[in-house]
Amino acid sequence: MEKLNQRIVEFHDMEDVAEFVNAAGKCEFDVNVISGNLYVDAKSLLGVMSMGFARRLRVQYRDSDQMFEQELQKFCVA
């Protein structure tokens, strides 16, 4: 069974969200963004935008991809 990866991120503007969604879209595995009980597909620009800006969000995924994790690191806060 694959390990569950989680990171805490924060997006400050539309460009951050677009860059993150673009990176997630290149993954062959599911990536979710979570806030409380709300889960959205990280590959959905509108879904991630609906989570808002300047809020801490949890990104969850079950596989690994070095390029994605490099991009993700730009937004990590914890």
Ranges of residues in the chain with a pLDDT under 50 are none
Show the CA angle centred on residue 74, arms to residues 36 and 65, nearest 5°.
85
Q: What is the pLDDT of residue 3?
A: 83
Q: Domain count for the chain, please give it.
A: 1
Q: What is the pLDDT of residue 1?
A: 57
Phi, psi of 29 (to 5 degrees): -120, 165
Burial of residue 77, with CB atoms counted within 10 A of its CB: 0-12 exposed, 13-18 middle, 19 or more buried: exposed
Residue 52 sits in a domain whose CATH number is 3.30.1340.10
Q: What is the pLDDT of residue 64?
A: 87
Q: How far is CA 39 from CA 11, 29, 47, in A?
A: 16, 16, 9
Domain of residue 9, residue span: 5-73
Distance CA 63, CA 78 (A): 20
